[in-house]
Amino acid sequence: MQPEEAFKSNLLALRKERGLSQKQVADKAGISEIGYRFLEKGHRKPSFDMLIALADFFDVSLDYLTGRKDEP
């Protein structure tokens, strides 16, 4: 799986596993709901700071979030 595909797939799975809305994640990550939606759809690539914020929020490693490892 390509890194972009892995990222959006993992992002969606993490959000759904926790029963959160896109708005809830966006608010916690400090971005707009539309910006978050674009990340999940693969229409926008995350900045370095955004990757860190999302990994911290979901309490997973950057390697997991970007599809480089299978374990969070």
Diameter of the chain measured on Cα atoms: 29
Cα–Cα dist 28/5, whole Å: 23
SS3 61: coil
What is the model's pLDDT at position 37? Answer: 96
Domain residue spans of the chain: 3-58
How far apart are the two ends of the chain, measured CA to CA in Å? 17
Task: Split the chain (72 residues) into runs of 10 and give each run's mean pLDDT.
Answer: 88 97 94 94 92 94 92 78
The alpha carbon dihedral of 47, 45, 19, 71 has a sign of negative
What is the model's pLDDT at position 71? Answer: 78
Cα–Cα dist 69/27, whole Å: 27
How is domain 3-58 classified at the CATH fold level?
434 Repressor (Amino-terminal Domain) (1.10.260)
